[in-house]
Amino acid sequence: MKYELYYWPSIQGRGEFIRLALEEGAADYVDVARLPKSKGGGAEAVSRILEDAGEGRMPFAPPVLKAGKLLVSQTANILLYLGPRLRLVPKAEAARLWAHQLQLTLADLVVEAHDTHHPIAGSLYYEDQKLEALRRAQNFRALRLPKFLGYFERVLAAHPGGDRWLIGKALTYVDLSMFQVIAGLCYAFPRAMSGMPRKHPRLAVLHQRVQERPRIKTYLASSRRIPFNEHGIFRHYPELDEA
């Protein structure tokens, strides 16, 4: 199976969770929008897949994964589909549901991280909502971020098979997503995240282990990994990271 990923070509965003799974799973895939326009790429390719999807099953927004004639959208849903095919989730149904549950919880955290810089509306510029963003970011750093990270730290600590991975004895797509979330938070809130190794040591170790995976390490060092920037989900505005 050759997969086609449709996501915006200049940001990591939610598409990065899919890219990490495809890279770790050694999948044959093409990041369509990053192709030259002459080969059907560019942001227009994403717009086309959203507008031209047939059979009444049109995606609401990217990322969209095309697998043969099948179109799958929503980040957690795509990973639910890819997980067993890329051997990034256990075979047992209970474990797959647990993985999906954790992925959805990470999706909640991603939304809250995004809303620190766009607390009123995504259609407004950050500069149009800076005062509200300052209040939202303060609450996020003080209350919401510790709650989410503390939860995932407890998941690792309570794991019956040890604390190496979030599910089972092998890496899953949830570990890859946890890595991406931590990387994004460290970019957006370096001061707030500076104490993570001390407060959440298991998560810090998991982040490092994922980063050292041979395929992930190669991917992170390649041009395929789009740098974090102030157009994606995780944005670094120093005033939002004040102590």
| Residues 26 and 128 placed together within one structural domain of the fold | no
Number of domains in the chain: 2
Mean pLDDT for the stretch of residues 69-92: 96
Domain range spanning residue 18? Answer: 2-85
Mean pLDDT for the stretch of residues 203-232: 97
Question: What is the per-residue pLDDT for 55?
Answer: 66
Confidence of residue 159 (pLDDT cuts 50, 70, 90): confident
Count how many Cα atoms sit within 13 Å of the Cα of residue 211 in the half-sphere of its side chain. 12
Name the average pLDDT for the chain: 94
| Residues 42 and 133 placed together within one structural domain of the fold | no
Per-residue pLDDT for 231 more than 70?
yes
CATH of the domain at 139: 1.20.1050.10
- Encode the chain in three state secondary structure: CEEEEECCCCCCCCHHHHHHHHHHCCCEEEEHHHCCHHHCCCHHHHHHHHHHCCCCCCCCCCCEEEECCEEEECHHHHHHHHHHHCCCCCCCHHHHHHHHHHHHHHHHHHHHHHCCCCCCCCCCCHHHHHHHHHHHHHHHHHHHHHHHHHHHHHHHHHCCCCCCCCCCCCCCHHHHHHHHHHHHHHHHCHHHHCCHHHHCHHHHHHHHHHHCCHHHHHHHCCCCCCCCCCCCCCCCCHHHHCC
Domain boundary among 60, 85, 110: 85
The Cα–Cα gap between 92 and 111 comes to 29
Nearest CA among 101, 112, 57, 54 for reference residue 79: 101
Per-residue pLDDT for 167 more than 70?
yes
Per-residue pLDDT for 174 more than 60?
yes
Domain boundary among 30, 63, 85: 85
| Residues 77 and 101 placed together within one structural domain of the fold | no
Lowest mean pLDDT among 52-61, 84-93, 167-176: 52-61
Per-residue pLDDT for 162 more than 60?
no
| Residues 69 and 138 placed together within one structural domain of the fold | no
| Residues 190 and 121 placed together within one structural domain of the fold | yes
Per-residue pLDDT for 14 more than 90?
yes
CATH of the domain at 21: 3.40.30.10
| Residues 29 and 104 placed together within one structural domain of the fold | no
Confidence of residue 51 (pLDDT cuts 50, 70, 90): confident
Encoding tokens for residue 196? 């993570």
Mean pLDDT for the stretch of residues 40-56: 85
| Residues 176 and 117 placed together within one structural domain of the fold | yes
Nearest CA among 110, 80, 85 for reference residue 98: 80
Mean pLDDT for the stretch of residues 103-114: 98
| Residues 74 and 173 placed together within one structural domain of the fold | no
Domain boundary among 35, 55, 85: 85
| Residues 134 and 26 placed together within one structural domain of the fold | no
Is there a contact between 72 and 62 (Cβ–Cβ < 8 Å)? no
| Residues 196 and 114 placed together within one structural domain of the fold | yes
